Structure 1
Amino acid sequence: MNAGEQLRAEKKTHRLIQLLIGLTGYGTALALLVGSGVGASSWNVLAEGLAHRSGLTFRMATNLIALVVLVFWIPLRELPGLGTVFNVVLVGTTADVAAHLIPAPATLVQQLTHYSLGLVLFAFFDALYLGARFGSGPRDGLMTGAIRVTDQPLWKVRTSIEVIVVAIGWVLGGTVGAGTLILALAAGPLVQAFLHHTTVPLRIDNPPASTAH
């Protein structure tokens, strides 16, 4: 659906609440993953590597990557929506706030607990906001567009993108930890599993059959 169709579709209140909860939860999950110290996400590795090679700040490198990813939306025919805008506004802000509120882990057990919880919540809230069907953020849009164009399952497309991004980030000088590799391999299957339960069904999914005259 394009942005207009997303806004005209039914269950708007339900979907909007789900979108907001999903994005704020997603930002919180990112804070848990980063704070655990077990390993950054693949896109953080890429941003770190780009910043290292270019002299840009981490935030500037992150924003530049988001802009480049949006360019790839064009050949993939991916359409932005309200979720695209809210993703840019809410995820980073929520992650920053959560990072200040969540106590830093003091032991290895606490680190692993933060990481494990962050991994599950990362996949769940990613699926929750995508399931609201208001459009995706820049990086998730790359995934959903590739799924539509290639007709491959979500887990395979997501895992392929994560592995490629990690590899490029590592070549550029980004830091790859054990948690980075686990996240790259596990995120796709987890998001796909959660989407079965979080995607809001709409009438557009089952259009009425045409009647012959």
Structure 2
Amino acid sequence: MMKDIIIRFSKLLFGLFICSVGIVMLINAGLGLGPWDVFHQGVSLKTGITIGQASICTGFVIVIFTSFFGERLGWGTLLNTVLIGLFMDFLMLNNIIPVVSSLPFQIFMISGGMFLIGIGSYYYMSAELGSGPRDGLMVVIAKRSSKSVQFIRNSIEISALTVGYFLGGFFGIGTVIIALTIGHFVQLAFKLFRFDVSKIHHRFIDDDIRWMAQKIVEIKNKKAA
């Protein structure tokens, strides 16, 4: 049991960090941000907080909203909400990933960033500790509408992009490239690891609470006996 927990959380943390590296590479490529990061940057510009902090705040708002509609939370959901933003700020504030301006390097950064997001998504999702907040939002809306998941996801990202643009977030050709191709990079990573998302069985926080309660009862029963 403990070994399984350590493996799951190790994969989760590694995946979230790799995703953060990929996101910062997309930002530092300088050709335009991904749809959600356009929104995060817009919030950052209007409030004075960092992009990472904007990501964290947005994640918590989404988690609270989806919780009201019965979306179950996993430890991965909460850690995704917090750590992606913290890792992004750490990488950006310490200038660990360079900002590039030459087109060949910009293309390399965008391609490499999306590939790393795909790899990170595999490790994060294969930990089976709950969906990220934005994926949870998609699931909640999908359950309550007759629209396809693809339509809902696109609508959410277009909405985030539009609001972010009017808040001052950076929209560019890179934004279009990311929006059109990120799914292919994620799918490529899943194929490399032979990962079938249909076989995911998440473990949620309420599962752990029930497990702990059961163990406490068992311990009390043993003492009473």
For Structure 1 versus Structure 2, the TM-score category normalised by the shorter chain is 0.7 to 0.9
Unpaired stretches in structure 1, ≥5 consecutive residues: 1-7, 205-213
Distance verdict in 2 for CA 1:62–1:89, change over 3 Å: closer
Aligned equivalents of 2:146 and 2:33: distance in 1?
A: 29
Q: Deviations over 1:109-150 (max 9, x none)?
A: 111101111012223312431232111332232234345555
Larger radius of gyration: 2
Match for residue 168 of structure 1?
A: 163
- Superposed CA deviations along residues 50-106 of structure 1, whole A, max 9, x for unmatched, are 455xx4124364444233322331354221121123223422232234342223325
Superposition deviation, residue 199 in structure 1? 4.5
**Separation (CA, whole Å) in 1 of partners of 2:5 and 2:146:** 28
Q: 1:185 to 1:143 in 2, by over 3 A?
A: farther
- Counterpart of 1:57? 48
How far did residue 153 of structure 1 move?
6.2
Change (3 A) 1:105 1:181: same
Give yes or no for contact 1:29–1:121 (8 Å, CA) kept in 2: yes
* Aligned residues of 2:91 and 2:97 also touching (Cα < 8 A): yes
Partner of 2:27: 34
Partner residue of 1:5?
A: none
Aligned twin of 2:7: 14
Q: Where do residues 1-150 of structure 1 align in structure 2 (5 Å cutoff)?
A: 11-52=4-45, 55-59=46-50, 61-99=54-92, 100-150=95-145
Amino acid at match of 1:162: E
CA distance change for structure 1 residues 141 and 180 in 2, over 3 Å: closer, same or farther? same
Name the residue aligned to 2:177.
182
- 8 A contact 2:36–2:161 mirrored in 1: yes
Distance 1:132 1:158, change over 3 A: farther
Q: TM-score, normalised by structure 2?
A: 0.69
Moved more, 165-174 or 191-200: 191-200
For residue 21 of structure 1, report the CA deviation from its aligned partner.
Answer: 1.5
CA-CA distance at 1:25 after TM superposition: 0.5
With normalisation by structure 1, the TM-score equals 0.73
Task: Verify the 8 A CA contact 1:69 1:139 in the aligned structure 2.
Answer: yes
8 Å Cα contact 2:59-2:81 kept in structure 1: no
Question: Identical aligned pairs, as a percentage?
Answer: 30
CA positional deviation for 1:13: 3.6
2:8/2:128 contact within 8 Å kept:
yes
What are the superposed Cα offsets for residues 9-58 of structure 1, whole Å, 9 maximum, x if unpaired? x9434322221211111111111111111111212211333455xx4124
Give the aligned CA root-mean-square deviation in angstroms.
3.3
Q: How many residues align?
A: 195
**Structure 2: tracts of 5 or more residues without a match:** 203-225
